[in-house]
Every structure is written in structure tokens, then in C-alpha cells.
Amino acid sequence: MLTFLTRRIAAGIATLVVAIFLMYLLVDLAIDPLADLVDSTAPNKAELIQARINLLHLDQSVFVRFFTWAGHFITGDFGTAWKTGQEVGPLVGHAIGSTLQLVTAATVLSLVLGVAVGVVSALRQYSTFDYVIIFVSFLLYSLPSFWIAILLKQWGAIGFNDFLADPVIAWPTIALFAVVSGLVWMIAVGGSRTRRIQTFAIAAVATFSAVAFVQLTDWWSTPHFGPVLIGVTGLALAFAVSGLSAGFGNRKALYTAVTTVLVGLVLYYPMQALFDNVDESNLLIAGLAVVAIGIGYLLGYLFRGPDWRVSSRVGAIVAFLVASMIYIDQILQVWPAYFRALKGRPIPTFGDSTPNLGGNYWVQTLDSLTHLLLPTLTLILVAFAAYTRYSRSSMLEVMSQDYIRTARAKGLNERTVVMRHGFRNTLIPLATIVPIDIITLIGGAVITEAVFARPGMGALFVTSLQHAEIDPVMAYLVITAALAIIANIVADLVYAAVDPRIRLNP
């Protein structure tokens, strides 16, 4: 283990040094810091050029410049972006923060959605649902991301803002939406003819009443959850989570889940008082989330039973979901004020925050969420396709293994076979690509950030390369390359951790 790590890290550092050296040469070849001066008509053109050459030491050979730069870099001096005179260190720091905001939500959401859809699609191989999903994932996979981004920016944002100004959906549209949702659920769940008709009816009626509720209560102007909605959604989630994770046969898990939701409801009003009287920060919210998960876990433990760990797991998941709903409810409470402050155009198309907005923690959070909405959607659409295809093929592979047949043969019910024997093994190959994906994305969703003008890592790279500033470009390259190497080592370790058949030391 230790030898493996040492060897990999040493090899990684060697690769990094060589890669950075080559990239320095390439970037130096690619940029021309004198481009703007060569075409200038200033009378003192020659002196300006000479001054620029002195500033950037262009008279020295590129090798000398590389070693000067590398020496400074190792001692912690990342250089300056010479056009604006900004230090690269703080520049990169801010960029990473902005990128992390964008990437986290997008990765988590696309992973959850992609894996869920991929697994269902694999379970219903050769069904209509399967074919629809294959086609949709192919289509999303073939969409140029800059095209989706512009479309969302120029069309989605403006359309949604117009809609929010007068949030009324025509009733035929709602009915059509309900029918489509019913059809999707019908082909996803499948089964016999009666089962299909039942699913269709339930899904269509549920969608219709949900949208009608939103419409009739004027939800769009004052979006909120409130204790009633949290209670209803929480109970639905409690049943879904315990049904999937423990099976309905496990009553203790179900009781834990329901109790957790009730505890969350009881805590709703005290939490409102708490949020009104405390100075919030992300740290505090994270702490509260941990407390919530702890409560759920504890409730599972209190129900005892032979396998209380299962109940605890269910309790923790449900507690986290209910706590998230309370949190989102709190954010949405400032929506009307935010809506007025932005003069009724709340969905922005560029940047990562509204300048000079002011307001408390909740307003700031809502503001960054609205800025995240469209870029996150763009990233999800692209990543969703990849994860769906990957988890589908992985699940197909797993479900044709002998141990699945054995599990069926010994009489396990279908839920246990799929969730415990199939699903878990499906995640093994995913465990190796997800760390690489996440860490690569920290290098910035270059295109998305460029289109939405989010000041993240990718945008830093693009603008610096366009401005012919080598220092920020190189700082960016060192960070992404180092992260890529770390990601590969992490992926190997994760693979070995989840699959005991893999041994790191040959």
C-alpha cells in the first residue's frame, strides 16, 4: 500500500514536471504579448515594444524564462497577470471558489439522476422506456455544450423571467403535461396492462394536482414549502427511501423514517426562530446538517431490532432530505424581496453574484443559487447522458452475472436482488470515473463558464490565454494537471477499497 502510494506519487510528480515544461513551451508559442503593439500607430511604438520586452523578459530564451518562473512558483510566488497587474494567487483562489460552487451541485445532481435512470433503463432492457432513454442520452451526448448554454441563456432565462412576471400556465398545457408525465411513468414502471393503466392514472393525476396546486395558490410569486408540504413530501420520501433501501418488510426502518419526518416537522417552527436570531454562515448550516443526520441515525438506533444499522441508515438519509427541505424553505422565504430587488427579472444570465446586492445570508445564498441555475442545468444535461450510458451498461453487465442468478435461486425478493446484489456492484466501475470527473471539473467547465461569464477556473484560463498572459495560464495548468494526477491515484485507491478483488501491490 505504502510502496504503491510512494511509487505513484513519485511517478506523478515526474509526469507533472515534464508536462508543465512542455506546456510552458507550447503556451509561449501560442501567445504573442506584443500583438497589440505591433499593430499600434503610437509614435513611440518602438519604445513601448522595448518596455514590454523588458517587463516580460522576452529577450531571454524561453528556457531561462521557464526556470525563473518555476523557481518563483515553487517558492509560492505565482506571478502576475501583467495586463491588469493582478497577483495570480488571489485570482486563482477566487476562481476556484466560483468553480467549486458550480461543479458540486451539477456533479451530484447529474450523478444521482443519471445512475437512477440508467439503472431503471437496464432493468427494463429492450422496453420502450429503454429505447427512449438510449435515444435521449445519445442526443444529449451529441449536443454541443456551448449551443445548449447559449440556448438556455438567450431563451430559457428570458422565457422563464417573462413567465415569472405573469406566472399563469394555460389549463390545456397543464393537462398535456400531466398526460406526458403519466406516459413517462407508465413506460418506466411497466408491468401488465392493468398495472400500466394504474400507473398512468396515478402519475397523471398526481402531476395535474401538483401543478394545479402551484397555480392556484399563486406559488410562483411566494414560493415556499411550509410545514404542510414538508410533511407530505417528507412522508412520501420516507416511504420511498425505506422501501428502496430496506424494503417494506422491514417495519422498524419504516417507523424510523416516519418518526424522523415527524421530528423534522416538530422542529420546523423552533428552526424558524433560530434562523431569525442567529447570524448564519455556511459552516453553521453544514453543522446543522450533520446534527440532522445524527438525529436520524440515533432514531434508527433507538428502534433497536436485529439490524438497527439499516434503520439508522434510512433515518439518516430521510433526516438529511427533510433538513434540506427546511433549509430550502428558509431560502425561498426571501424570494419576494429578492424578486422586487431585481425588478422582476430574477434569473440572471452572467456572473456568479449580483453586484451591490447586500442583504443577509439568505439573500446572498438565493442570489448565488439563481446565478447557478442555468450553468448547472447545462452541465447536468451533458453529464447526465454520460452517467446514464455508463450506469446502464454497468448494470446490464452485473445483472447477467452468475451471482445474480444465485441470489434469485435462493429465493431473495426482486428488491434485494436488484438493490443489494445488482446496484451495489454497478457502482464499482462508477467509483473509478467519478473522482476523475469531479477533479477534472475543478479545472473548470471551460465552455459553460465562458458562455455564462462566470469568473471560474475555466474562464480564467480562457481570458488569460486570449490576453496573452502566461503566468495565470501556467498557474491554471499546474493546478489542473496536479489535480488530474491526484484524481487518478484516488480513483485507484477507491477502486481497491470498494472491490476487494483488486490488489494494489503486484
Q: How far is the CB of 20 from another protein (least distance, A)?
A: 9
SS (H, E, C) 409-460: HCCCCHHHHHHHHHHHHHHHHHHHHHHHHHHHHHCCCHHHHHHHCCCCHHHH
126 touching another protein, by CB under 8 A? yes
Q: Where are the alpha helices (DSSP H) in 443-469?
A: 446-452, 457-466
The residue (of 95 and 481) whose beta carbon lies closer to another protein is 481
Nearest distance in Å: CB 16, another protein: 7
Minimum distance between the CB of residue 115 and another protein, rounded to whole angstroms? 16
Shortest CA distance to 374 belongs to which of 148, 169, 100?
148
Nearest Cα neighbor of 130 from 388, 365, 382, 374 is 388
Pseudo-torsion of CA 235, 237, 240, 245, nearest 10°?
A: -110
CB 441 within 8 A of CB 107: yes
What is the C-alpha to C-alpha distance for residues 88 and 176, in angstroms, rounded to an integer? 53
Comparing CB distances to another protein, the nearer of 138 and 213 is 138
The continuous run of DSSP H or E covering 81 comes out as: strand 80-81
Tell me: does residue 461 bind another protein (CB under 8 A). Answer: yes
User: Is the Cβ–Cβ distance between 258 and 235 less than 8 Å?
Assistant: yes
Cβ atoms 289, 331 nearer than 8 A: no
Q: Is the dihedral of CA 78, 81, 82, 86 positive or negative?
A: negative
Residues 432-451 interacting with another protein (rule: CB under 8 A): 440, 443, 446-447, 450
Residue 485 lies near another protein (rule: CB under 8 A): yes
Q: What is the smallest separation between the CB atom of 465 and another protein, expressed in angstroms?
A: 6
Q: What 8-state DSSP symbol labels residue 23?
A: H
Binding mask 379-418 for another protein (x = CB under 8 A): ----------x--xx--xx-xx----x--xx----x----
Query: Which stretch in 163-171, 246-254, 263-271, 478-486 sits in contact with another protein by CB under 8 A?
Result: 478-486
Number of other residues whose CB lies within 10 A of the CB of residue 142: 8
Applying CB under 8 A, which of residues 123, 253, 319, 430 lies at the interface with another protein? 123
Contact set for another protein, span 138-197 (CB under 8 A): 138-139, 141-147, 150-151, 154-155, 158
Closer Cβ to another protein, 363 or 396, answer by number: 396
User: How far apart are the C-alpha atoms of 97 and 77, rounded to whole Å?
Assistant: 20
Identify which range of 172-180, 250-258, 334-342, 477-485 contacts another protein by CB under 8 A. 477-485
DSSP-based three-state secondary structure for 86: strand
Site string for another protein, 198-237 (x = CB under 8 A): ----------------------------------------
Check residue 61 for interaction with another protein (CB under 8 A). Answer: no
Please identify, using beta-carbon distances, which residue of 271 and 450 lies nearer to another protein.
450
Q: How far is the CB of 313 from another protein (least distance, A)?
A: 26
Interaction of residue 27 with another protein, rule CB under 8 A: yes
Which range binds another protein by CB under 8 A, 134-142, 173-181, 193-201, 227-235?
A: 134-142
Closest CA to 288 of 318, 319, 313: 319
Query: Using CB under 8 A, which of 465, 494, 498, 504 touches another protein?
Result: 465
Quick check: 484 binds another protein (CB under 8 A)?
A: yes
CB of 400 to another protein, least distance (A): 4
Least distance to another protein from the beta carbon of 272, Å?
42
Please give the Cα distance from 478 to 486 (Å, whole number): 12
With binding defined as CB under 8 A, does residue 238 bind another protein?
no
Query: What is the per-residue DSSP string for 186-213?
Result: HHHH--SHHHHHHHHHHHHHHHHHHHHH
Can you tell me the distance from the alpha carbon of 232 to that of 335, in angstroms, rounded to the nearest whole number?
22
Cβ distance 277 to 224 under 8 Å?
Answer: no
Residue ranges of alpha helices (H) inside 152-280 are 157-165, 171-189, 193-216, 226-245, 251-266, 268-277
Q: Residue numbers of the site for another protein (CB under 8 A)?
A: 15-16, 18-19, 22-23, 26-27, 29-31, 123-126, 134, 138-139, 141-147, 150-151, 154-155, 158, 389, 392-393, 396-397, 399-400, 405, 408-409, 414, 440, 443, 446-447, 450, 461-462, 465-466, 476-477, 480-481, 484-485
